[in-house]
């Protein structure tokens, strides 16, 4: 298995595609897996040229990693500059994800950004206990990151890159970013809430699930190259934590912005 194979969906009727599952250490399907495959499904109905500039996904049910996933695409709009798609991901239990994505043809304009990459060391040795065989991750220490340069709490950052090189295929590179993007939000919520962080090292202390996920793509992506992913927790209410963060190229370019609401509960014996 590789990310290319994971992103290779099989046609199953008009605007319907089927993707493979994959075993993850915690069981179920990883949210980034479903988001990335849904984005691939959406892009398969868009003519070559426009690339996704934003997506919004709602996680509905826990995915079963032993089943394939059926992606049903609705062609909401085809315009001269933009195209809009809606995708519903289904398994035997019913819908597990609803995603909307907007695509734009490249448009040369002046550029401006107010978000700056933090001054942190480049990636060190990748983590040895990485949960996905498709990715490499190198965490940034709290000392190197600091905690006062962004709003929010539980600020956390890590360098990521894919094992596989997608070359100049911008669509697959953006799908790879979507796959990675679901990794850090939960960690930033747990780290940002003292009552949750107190149980950080305790196995089985939390129940967590992604609720909704948004990505804005600002610049081209090369997923095989190291990118810095940075997240902070901005709210935790009724068990729902809101994380906001950024993706930077190694050269410091602001490549994407990510927002996620995640459900995090302490298990009964930890409350």
In terms of DSSP bridges, do strands 240-249 and 254-266 run parallel, antiparallel, or are they unpaired?
antiparallel
Residue 254 lies in a domain: yes
Do 162 and 263 have their domain in common? yes
Instruction: Round to whole Å and give the CA distance between 36 and 214.
Output: 12
Do 92 and 150 have their domain in common? no
Token output for 172: 């697959």
Instruction: Round to whole Å and give the CA distance between 166 and 177.
Output: 12
Do 149 and 218 have their domain in common? yes
Residue 21 lies in a domain: yes
Residue 228 lies in a domain: yes
Query: Above 80 in pLDDT, residue 58?
Result: yes
Do 235 and 155 have their domain in common? yes
Percent of the chain's residues with pLDDT above 90: 83
State which of 63, 85, 104 marks the end of a domain: 104
Do 263 and 141 have their domain in common? yes
- Split at pLDDT 50, 70, 90, the class of 36 is very high
Do 231 and 187 have their domain in common? yes
Percent of the chain's residues with pLDDT above 70: 99
Structure confidence at residue 25 (pLDDT): 83
Instruction: Name the phi and psi angles at 145, rounded to 5.
Output: -80, -40
Residue 261 neighbours by CB distance under 10 Å: 18
User: Is 186 in contact with 242 (CB distance < 8 Å)?
Assistant: no
Of 168, 204, 172, 208, the closest CA to residue 189 belongs to: 208
Do 261 and 151 have their domain in common? yes
Instruction: Round to whole Å and give the CA distance between 23 and 5.
Output: 14
Do 53 and 141 have their domain in common? no
Do 259 and 139 have their domain in common? yes
In sequence order, what are the residues at sequence separation of 6 or more whose Cβ sits closer than 8 angstroms to the Cβ of residue 270? 199, 202, 205, 206
Residue 264 lies in a domain: yes
Q: Which of 10-19, 40-49, 148-157, 222-231 has the lowest mean pLDDT?
A: 148-157
pLDDT digits (tens, 9 = 90+) for 119-134: 999 999 999 888 899 9
Residue 14 lies in a domain: yes
Do 263 and 153 have their domain in common? yes
pLDDT digits (tens, 9 = 90+) for 129-187: 888 999 999 999 999 998 667 888 999 999 999 999 999 999 999 999 999 999 999 99
Token output for 232: 């902070």
Q: What CATH number corresponds to the domain at position 193? A: 3.10.129.10
Residue 165 lies in a domain: yes
Residue 109 lies in a domain: no
Residue 223 structural domain = 135-270
Structure confidence at residue 268 (pLDDT): 73
Residue 139 lies in a domain: yes
Of 98, 229, 140, the closest CA to residue 176 belongs to: 229
Instruction: Give the total number of structural domains in the chain.
Output: 2
Do 74 and 193 have their domain in common? no
């Amino acid at each position: 298995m590789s990310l290319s194979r994971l992103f290779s969906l099989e046609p199953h009727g008009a605007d319907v595609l089927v993707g493979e599952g994959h075993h993850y250490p915690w069981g179920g399907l990883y949210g980034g897996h479903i988001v990335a495959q849904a984005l691939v499904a959406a892009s398969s109905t868009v003519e070559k040229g426009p690339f996704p500039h934003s997506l919004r996904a709602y996680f509905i049910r826990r995915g079963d990693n032993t089943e394939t996933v059926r992606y049903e695409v609705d062609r909401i709009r085809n315009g001269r500059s933009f195209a809009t798609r809606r995708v519903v991901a289904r398994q035997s239990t019913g819908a597990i994800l609803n995603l909307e994505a907007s695509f734009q043809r490249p448009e040369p304009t002046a550029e401006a950004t107010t978000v700056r990459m933090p001054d942190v060391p480049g990636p060190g040795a990748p983590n040895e206990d990485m949960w996905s065989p498709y990715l490499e991750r190198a965490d940034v220490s709290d000392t190197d990151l600091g905690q006062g340069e962004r709003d929010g709490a539980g600020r956390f950052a890590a360098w990521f890159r894919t094992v596989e090189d997608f070359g100049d295929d911008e669509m697959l590179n953006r799908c790879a970013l979507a796959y990675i993007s679901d990794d850090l939000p939960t960690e930033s919520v747990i780290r940002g809430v003292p009552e949750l962080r107190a149980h950080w090292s305790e196995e089985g202390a939390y129940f967590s699930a992604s609720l909704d996920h948004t990505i804005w793509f600002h610049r081209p992506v090369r997923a095989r190259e190291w990118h810095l992913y940075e997240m902070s927790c901005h709210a935790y209410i009724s068990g729902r934590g809101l994380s906001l963060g950024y993706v930077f190229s190694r050269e410091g370019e602001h490549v994407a912005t990510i927002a996620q609401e995640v459900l995090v509960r302490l298990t009964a014996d930890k409350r």
